[in-house]
Amino acid sequence: EDQVTQSPEALRLQEGESSSLNCSYTVSGLRGLFWYRQDPGKGPEFLFTLYSAGEEKEKERLKATLTKKESFLHITAPKPEDSATYLCAVQAGNYGQNFVFGPGTRLSVLP
């Protein structure tokens, strides 16, 4: 069965304090790994897609990386507006028919 776990469950950072979020996955036939951001009362907002080990994507203070078993979302010098829940999702299966979200990491950035 395809599984996705994320750690830590919650993370509190001071503004400017860089850190990383982890997404570990066990799937059969990875088609893609997605990172989303979800604000309270809103739907997830797409951030990145990674398709193969070694791939990296960057957007402002965020950088996502992928290995064969996990992905990291690195946050450099975070600001309070980066506070949100960050969700990792994988698409797997021969036809990409399996789509599984992780439980998320709740990030709080304090001013």
Partner 1 sequence: DTAVSQTPKYLVTQMGNDKSIKCEQNLGHDTMYWYKQDSKKFLKIMFSYNNKELIINETVPNRFSPKSPDKAHLNLHINSLELGDSAVYFCASSQDKEQPQHFGDGTRLSIL
By CB under 8 A, name the one of 15, 103, 108, 110 that touches partner 1: 103
Span interacting with partner 1, options 16-24, 56-64, 75-83, 85-93, rule CB under 8 A: 85-93
Q: What are the angstrom distances between the C-alpha of 104 and each of 15, 74, 84, 94, 95? A: 21, 15, 10, 25, 25
DSSP string, 13-56: EETT--EEEEEEEE-SSEEEEEEEEE-TTS--EEEEEE-STT-E
By CB under 8 A, name the one of 27, 34, 65, 73 that touches partner 1: 34
Q: In the complex with partner 1, which residue's Cβ is closer, 48 or 82? A: 48
Binding site for partner 1 (CB under 8 A): 31-32, 34, 36, 41-46, 49, 85, 87, 89, 91, 96-97, 99-101, 103-104
